[in-house]
């Protein structure tokens, strides 16, 4: 099992670097290619990859320090991936000499002695480096970036946005895996019945107030997705910030709802639940692959009022959908989810934020024409940046004076910035969930 897990982890990291794939997509691709079916091996590989990616900048810094004047880039993908995994496991996670010898031996059996020969010397040297001493003399934000596993530019951005003290708390929290939350599906049964069935599988949940159906996972005997409760759609694994956005939207039974960027289905399935499966939801996403997941999820959760459409939300839709509610959760930089998706932070640059904000502005402008008079537009992202949130909303309100900010209830987040106090901001270090922004706007009647 251990060798399968390491083989899979090496292959996954190689795919991520070669094709800039997301962690989960790369893991799935590698699993299929290597035909590994042991879920324990896949689970261990996922942990190795995720925790290595979380610390990638520090790992690369340490490896390049001991390899100088050569660098990691001089190695092939396989040895490069193995050295990163080896450094995480032996230097940052375990530190046991016998364990490091065993891992080195396993690396040789996976990659072959010849492919690993240029890295052999590094295997011993990396164990002896004092990484705290290696950081001495660095400029403050660079040092903090390495200590909290974030890019220097992002550290500077957070200092400017949040202030130094608050930014340090946020950055340090991003080094941790966030809690897991689930949303009970009352389309299947009353909440008390659902809880009994879920708890019968030795899954321990804790209610999250003041949200309606959200629970924090405290304990489980096996992966949630392998429980009968999950398979039969009794719950959806969904962060509490995402659940909050759906409750703020507050769709009513009988409403017509347009759900943009709908895949993989978290929003659609909760909207349908809040609507008691009465009304109409039109769910739009540009990705056929992701909408395939949406189809499976809506079926699993017992949703029968939603219809899917593959389309680009930056362009006029092929049908006219006058809606009581339009909800938009556009692509974003995911700066609020680095604890959960650490691979995302290494694909970003300062320019990424502006590029995303442009796409988000195009999408929300298109939303305006689909909202009925008196109807609502809800906009949310899992990013903490000003450019993707308050600046998008502020520019939209200037271009569309018929829209006004509406109250967002329930209220568990902090007020939005730039005077948009009815909006809500959530932060991992304060709210113990993904970083998040949500705004609710109402179209006034003429």
Residue carrying structure tokens 């308050």: 390
Residues designated catalytic: 382
**75 — alpha (psi -120 to 50), left (phi > 0) or beta?**
beta
Give the span between the Cα atoms of 72 and 63, in whole angstroms: 7
CB 179 within 8 A of CB 433: yes
Supply 368's token pair: 């305006």
Residues in the chain: 446
Supply 91's token pair: 């230097």
Give the span between the Cα atoms of 100 and 105, in whole angstroms: 9
Residue carrying structure tokens 């000003």: 386
CB 244 within 8 A of CB 412: yes
Give the span between the Cα atoms of 395 and 266, in whole angstroms: 28
């Amino acid at each position: 099992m251990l060798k399968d897990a390491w083989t899979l982890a090496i292959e996954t990291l190689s795919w991520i670097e070669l094709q800039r794939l997301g962690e989960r997509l790369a893991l799935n691709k590698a699993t299929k290619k290597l035909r590994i079916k042991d879920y324990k091996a896949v689970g261990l590989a996922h942990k190795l990859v995720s925790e290595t990616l979380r610390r990638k900048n520090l790992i690369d810094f340490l490896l390049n320090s001991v390899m100088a004047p050569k660098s990691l880039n001089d190695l092939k993908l396989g040895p490069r991936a193995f050295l990163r995994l080896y450094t995480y496991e032996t230097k940052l996670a375990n530190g046991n000499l016998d364990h490091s010898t065993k891992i080195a031996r396993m690396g040789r059996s996976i990659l072959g002695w010849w492919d690993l020969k240029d890295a052999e010397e590094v295997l011993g040297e990396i164990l002896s480096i004092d990484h705290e001493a290696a950081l001495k003399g660095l400029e403050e934000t660079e040092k903090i970036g390495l200590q909290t596993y974030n890019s220097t530019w992002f550290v500077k951005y957070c200092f400017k946005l949040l202030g130094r003290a608050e930014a340090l708390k946020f950055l340090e929290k991003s080094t941790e895996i966030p809690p897991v939350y689930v949303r009970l599906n009352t389309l299947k049964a009353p909440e008390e019945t659902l809880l009994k069935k879920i708890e019968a599988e030795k899954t321990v949940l804790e209610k999250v107030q003041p949200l309606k159906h959200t629970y924090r996972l405290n304990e489980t005997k096996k992966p949630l997705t392998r429980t009968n409760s999950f398979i039969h759609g009794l719950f959806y694994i969904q962060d509490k910030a995402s659940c909050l956005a759906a409750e703020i939207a507050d769709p009513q039974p009988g409403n017509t709802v347009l759900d943009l960027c709908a895949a993989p289905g978290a929003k659609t399935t909760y909207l349908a639940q809040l609507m008691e499966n009465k009304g109409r939801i039109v769910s739009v996403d540009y990705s056929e692959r992701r909408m395939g997941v949406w189809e499976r999820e809506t079926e699993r959760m017992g949703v029968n009022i939603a219809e899917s459409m593959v389309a680009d939300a930056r362009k006029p839709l092929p049908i006219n959908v006058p809606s009581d509610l339009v909800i938009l959760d556009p692509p974003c930089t995911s700066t609020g989810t680095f604890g959960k998706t650490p691979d995302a932070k290494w694909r970003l640059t300062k320019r990424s934020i502006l590029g995303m904000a442009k796409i988000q502005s195009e999408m929300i402008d298109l939303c305006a024409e689909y909202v009925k008079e008196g109807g609502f537009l809800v906009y949310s992202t899992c990013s903490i940046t000003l450019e993707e949130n308050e600046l998008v909303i502020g520019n939209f309100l200037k271009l569309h004076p018929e829209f006004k900010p509406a109250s967002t209830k329930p209220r568990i987040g902090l007020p939005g910035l730039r005077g948009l106090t009815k909006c809500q901001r959530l932060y991992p270090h304060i709210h113990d969930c993904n970083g998040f922004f949500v705004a609710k706007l109402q179209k006034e009647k003429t």
